Amino acid sequence: MGEKDNHNEGKESAATKRDRKVPPPTRKGTFFKNLFLLSILGLVVIGLLAYLSFDSQDLSDIDGYVENSLAIAPAGPNLANLLENAARNKNGVRITEEQINSYIRRTLKFEQGGWFESFVEARGVWVRLQENVVEVIIEREVWGRPHTISMLLQPEQTAQDDGRINTNVSRKKGKWGRAKVLNGFMLLTNSSFVSLREAYATETQQIWDMFRGRFQIKVSDGVLELSPPEQDLLKAQS
């Protein structure tokens, strides 16, 4: 009898195990699990990039750069007036990297405010001109350590059948320190660059007005050039 009872208990135990199978994960459960893992991965990447941002860029190659943010900026052309005259008279304009950076030093009051003020010092804003790229760099000092972030502006122009020129400026890339980052991470620092654009709203609007007037842009090492259409240039010279 004992052996028979044990045999029956074993059969019941096996049947019970079959009845208690773990149900497969639902779509909803899988979605939230993947979302959680992606969130953790995103935080790790952001933390790594924040760390790398303290491996700041070497800015000594930028024309017009100075380490002492209190140094008096040299005199130079008023770029707002220069752009306005070029647009009105349909004249080409050539602006150097040094002229841009000196103009920013003369006209921008760059200070760190808010909660970060106690441990963050604003150092300056700089522009580096390279082949087809305008790099806008924000330099700060955080807890005594140099810190840089930048946005890479890449203008692209295409001629239309009706003679117009379509201009697009890509802002999808940038750098935290020396490390390059893509659009998703640039959104985390976008507010700083939006504030800069607002500070230079007049100059920015003038350049876009020139684009609407079919001006062409060329960016090379250390130089930015804006040229009117050839037919408009001939009219202005006649």
- pLDDT averaged over every residue in the chain: 79
Q: At what angle do helices 79-89 and 201-212 cross, to 10 degrees?
A: 20
Q: Which tokens is 123 given?
A: 């150092």
Torsion of CA 74, 79, 80, 82, to 10 degrees: 130
pLDDT at 169: 92
Q: DSSP of 147-163, one letter per residue?
A: EEEEEEEEEEEEE-TTS
Asked if residue 183 has pLDDT above 80, the reply is no
Instruction: For residue 16, report the phi and psi dihedrals to the nearest 5 degrees.
Output: -65, -40
Burial 147-172, CB ≥16 within 10 A → b, else e: bbbbbbbebeeeeeeeeebebeeeee
> How far is 33 from 26, CA to CA, in rounded Å?
11
- Regarding pTM above 0.85, the answer is no
Average pLDDT over residues 43-63: 72
Q: List, for residues 125-182, the tens digit of each pLDDT value.
A: 999 999 999 999 999 888 778 888 899 999 999 988 877 889 999 988 888 888 887 7
